[in-house]
Amino acid sequence: EALEQRGWPLPPLVDDAQLNFERLLMHHPDLILAPMSGITARDYARLSQIAPTLGWSGAPWTGSWQGVTRQVGTALGREAEAEALIAATEARLAAAALPEFRGLTFLIGSGNPGAGTISLHRAGDPRVQLLQALGMELAPTLDALPGGGFQTILGFEALGRLDADILILWQSGPEELTDLQAHPVFAGFDPVARGCLLPMLDRGFVMATSAPSPLSIPWALDRLVPALSDLIAGNPACGPERAPAR
């Protein structure tokens, strides 16, 4: 949408499961940006032979959108513009942090009905950081689980160890969501049983929250904030005043 508004053509898309270095080489890039990725040291070395490459720092698939914006601004020699974008986007987030979001605990991830597992994102994940910027809190019960990285994978049988006001899940489509909700153990998970599940099925919405940026955040907020508000307003059991799960 942003490209259309500016009259710019859509850039070539490489939608491969693995890096296709030959296809990337065909596009003759001036710069390769991969700050929010899982590229390995070997990948980085090969990419750097194609063009100067900006990889991740800290850990794969983690980092703040502010940090990524600053990295890109530095790589392009546009540091002041990057800071202005960060300030404007933070102001937009602050305006979207409605009072009813304050103190609301959440879990966010994706369910796999076939495997009977759920992947939940941890504190270093940008999706979590986006919700925290709205005044919400990552469920302490998840933070207390062992492990690191950007996500934790649990079997449905372990969901009883967790407690949250709402559960946000991104799924591939309505069919997968239906299969997930048909699983009796998942259906009995407290946020689901209370009707406090917020599904994200639109791929654009999922990607806008998975890799937040000054471009995607305002677009995502226009959809996320009303969805959260409607969920809370329509079901008092989703608010922070509800009784905790036993």
pLDDT above 80: residue 15? no
Place of tokens 């299969």: 179
What percentage of residues in the chain have a pLDDT greater than 70?
Answer: 95
pLDDT-derived band at 243, boundaries 50, 70, 90: low
Give the residue-averaged pLDDT of 70-78: 93
Got the DSSP string for 178-244? HHHHHSHHHHTSHHHHTT-EEEE--HHHHHHHHS--TTHHHHHHHHHHHHHHHHHHH-GGGSTTSPP
pLDDT in the model for residue 63: 76
pLDDT above 90: residue 20? no
pLDDT per residue as tens digits for the range 25-66: 988 999 998 888 889 999 999 999 999 999 988 788 877 889
Give the residue-averaged pLDDT of 74-89: 96
Helix (H) or strand (E) holding 68: helix 65-76
pLDDT in the model for residue 16: 61
Which of 60-69, 158-167, 194-203 is predicted least confidently? 60-69
Map residue 105 onto helix, strand or coil. Answer: strand
Give the residue-averaged pLDDT of 158-180: 94
Q: How far apart are the first and last CA of the chain?
A: 46
pLDDT above 80: residue 242? no
For residue 224, give the amino acid letter: L
Average pLDDT of the chain is: 90
